[in-house]
């Protein structure tokens, strides 16, 4: 969330920056409530002060063995007045908190102005798109023909937007996960963690999924627990309500987790194939850094994610999201889009964001600056490194051959028992 004091002191700036995102936010209402809140705080605190002094006096009288009945009745009245004011204040504060949680982060000044994804700007291209002497096919056709996807049985055991990976498909998914984890831990200095895939409500609020985006989440019945939509949630919340020493920064984490998304409102989008599933695997990079260099850290985070695609030989482009397409909690986001020749389009495969102190303030993640000064909020960043299912999709489409087989990228072969080509799976059923 935003800093209430900053909003109060720079309302025009905040208004203007929120306007860049488009949409309506309850800023004016918040400012009004904040004024009321501060007035109530003063009244309450004055009363408390009075009561405190009077109570102390009673203690003094009692010690001297004097009569205190007159004083106690007076203070009791004071207490009752205080109680009703406190209740009022509590309600106002709850409302302020609610409004604050519904206001998104302010876009960074380097984020291009724009209304929606059409205004995102391509900032980089890498790799040559493969040329084929046949018409390249989409991954769902390749995968089903190879027998590595089974959508029919997935629909039977669960429902739509699920898939069963079989044989070399399952192995390829597993190889990708391990390959990515190895790259980020060994070459990029990330610490590997394997967090819970289920988190509580406080964690979801900490990273910004709740309270606003409840409909995107799977919730466990009779529990205040949710399936994670991304490892960003458990990993960022690792340090919720902590104060870490400055010398511990920056903290780099990498985590493999499955991700669960209700995909409410995406009916009819990407219904074919494995691009948009209710459950998918992802390797996620998360950074906790000091505010001074978070934008440099965003650039290196992006490069760390890009390197996965480079090593796999998959062509891609990087776009910077415009203000209108920016996620709720993010101040700046780069998307990496991999080339999918079977669909003749680029598909998002990673999203790398700097949240500045927006999540840190929600989740109360701070660091103590060297020299023992007051704690400050860290900056948090995260990025997919990468979405595993979509990487598998890109491999099928970019490495497909005329005969329907798929070449395994060289870096993955050690992870697949030396397998060089994926051929039709020979299963009796």
Rounded distance between C-alpha atoms, residue 351 and residue 347, angstroms: 11
Instruction: At 409, list the tokens.
Output: 């990228």
Query: Pick from 6, 13, 66, 76: which binds RNA (CB under 7 A)?
Result: 76
Secondary structure of residue 281 in the 3-state scheme? strand
Own/partner contacts of 421-424, CB < 8 Å, gap of 24 or more, are 422/146, 422/148, 422/168, 422/169, 422/172, 423/146, 423/168, 424/145, 424/146, 424/147
- Confirm or reject binding of residue 375 to RNA (CB under 7 A): yes
- Confirm or reject binding of residue 196 to RNA (CB under 7 A): no
Q: Which parts of 1-30 interact with RNA (CB under 7 A)?
A: 4-5
- Confirm or reject binding of residue 90 to RNA (CB under 7 A): yes
- Confirm or reject binding of residue 51 to RNA (CB under 7 A): yes
Rounded distance between C-alpha atoms, residue 21 and residue 356, angstroms: 17
- Confirm or reject binding of residue 291 to RNA (CB under 7 A): no
Contact 427, 167 (CB under 8 A): yes
- Confirm or reject binding of residue 164 to RNA (CB under 7 A): no
Instruction: At 249, list the tokens.
Output: 């920064």
Rounded distance between C-alpha atoms, residue 244 and residue 81, angstroms: 42
Rounded distance between C-alpha atoms, residue 392 and residue 378, angstroms: 34
Supply the DSSP symbol for 103.
S
Answer yes or no: 368 catalytic.
Answer: no
- Confirm or reject binding of residue 91 to RNA (CB under 7 A): no
Binding marks (x or -) toward RNA, 223..262, rule CB under 7 A? --------------------x-------------------
- Confirm or reject binding of residue 44 to RNA (CB under 7 A): yes
Please choose, from the candidates 192, 180, 204, the residue with its C-alpha nearest in 3D space to the C-alpha of residue 286. Answer: 192
How far apart are CB 305 and RNA at their closest, in Å? 32
Nearer to RNA, 345 or 374 (CB): 374
Q: What residues are paired with 407 via a beta bridge?
A: 421
- Confirm or reject binding of residue 75 to RNA (CB under 7 A): yes
Query: Pick from 27, 54, 96, 193: which binds RNA (CB under 7 A)?
Result: 54
- Confirm or reject binding of residue 81 to RNA (CB under 7 A): no
Query: Pick from 22, 59, 189, 196: which binds RNA (CB under 7 A)?
Result: 59
Helix ranges, 102-231 (H): 139-146, 151-157, 168-182, 201-207
Query: Pick from 9, 16, 28, 56: which binds RNA (CB under 7 A)?
Result: 56
Rounded distance between C-alpha atoms, residue 12 and residue 162, angstroms: 47
How far apart are CB 35 and RNA at their closest, in Å? 8
Instruction: At 11, list the tokens.
Output: 């309302």
Helix ranges, 313-387 (H): 358-363
- Confirm or reject binding of residue 58 to RNA (CB under 7 A): yes
Query: Pick from 79, 147, 250, 291: which binds RNA (CB under 7 A)?
Result: 79
Rounded distance between C-alpha atoms, residue 63 and residue 61, angstroms: 5
How far apart are CB 175 and RNA at their closest, in Å? 26
Answer yes or no: 351 catalytic.
Answer: yes
Rounded distance between C-alpha atoms, residue 366 and residue 320, angstroms: 28
Answer yes or no: 296 catalytic.
Answer: no
Out of 173, 361, 390, 397, pick the active-site residue: 390
List the catalytic residues: 261, 276, 348, 351, 390
Return residues touching RNA (CB under 7 A): 4-5, 38, 41-42, 44-46, 48-49, 51-52, 54-56, 58-59, 62, 72, 75-76, 79, 90, 243, 366, 368, 370-372, 374-375
């Amino acid at each position: 969330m935003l800093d209430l004091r900053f909003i109060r002191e720079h309302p025009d700036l905040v208004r203007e920056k929120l306007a860049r995102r488009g949409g309506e936010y309850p800023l004016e209402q918040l400012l009004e409530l904040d004024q009321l809140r501060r007035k109530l705080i003063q009244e309450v605190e004055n009363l408390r002060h009075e009561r405190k002094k009077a109570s102390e006096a009673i203690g003094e009288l009692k010690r001297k063995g004097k009569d205190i009945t007159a004083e106690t009745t007076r203070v009791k009245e004071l207490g009752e007045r205080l109680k009703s004011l406190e209740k009022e204040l509590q309600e106002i504060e709850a409302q302020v908190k609610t409004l604050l949680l519904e206001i998104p982060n302010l876009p960074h000044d380097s984020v291009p102005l724009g209304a929606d994804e059409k205004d995102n700007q391509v900032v980089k291209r890498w790799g040559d798109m493969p040329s084929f002497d046949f018409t390249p096919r989409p991954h769902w056709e390749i995968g089903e023909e190879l027998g590595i996807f089974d959508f029919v049985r997935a629909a039977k055991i669960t429902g739509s937007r699920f898939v069963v990976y079989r044989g070399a498909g399952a192995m390829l998914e597993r190889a990708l996960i391990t390959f990515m984890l190895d790259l980020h831990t060994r070459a990029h200095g990330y610490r590997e963690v394997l967090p819970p895939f289920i988190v509580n409500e406080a964690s979801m609020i900490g990273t910004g999924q709740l309270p606003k985006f409840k409909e995107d989440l799977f919730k466990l019945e009779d529990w205040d627990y949710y399936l994670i939509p991304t490892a960003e949630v458990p990993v960022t919340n690792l340090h919720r309500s902590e104060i870490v020493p400055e010398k511990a920064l920056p903290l780099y984490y990498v985590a493999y987790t499955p991700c669960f998304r209700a995909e409410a409102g995406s009916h009819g989008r990407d219904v074919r194939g494995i691009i948009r599933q209710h459950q998918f695997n992802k390797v996620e990079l998360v950074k906790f850094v000091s505010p001074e260099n978070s934008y440099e850290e965003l650039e290196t985070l992006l490069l760390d994610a890009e390197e996965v695609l480079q090593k796999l030989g998959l062509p891609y482009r990087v776009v910077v999201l415009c203000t209108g397409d920016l996620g709720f909690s993010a101040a700046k986001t780069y998307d990496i889009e991999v080339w999918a020749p079977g669909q003749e389009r680029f598909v998002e495969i990673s999203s790398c964001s700097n949240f500045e102190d927006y999540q840190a303030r929600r989740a109360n993640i701070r660091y103590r600056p060297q020299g023992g000064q007051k704690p400050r909020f860290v900056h948090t960043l995260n990025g997919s490194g990468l979405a595993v299912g979509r990487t598998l999709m890109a491999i099928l489409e970019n490495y497909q051959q005329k005969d329907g087989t798929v070449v395994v990228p060289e870096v993955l072969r050690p992870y697949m028992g030396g397998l060089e080509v994926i051929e039709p799976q020979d299963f009796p059923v």
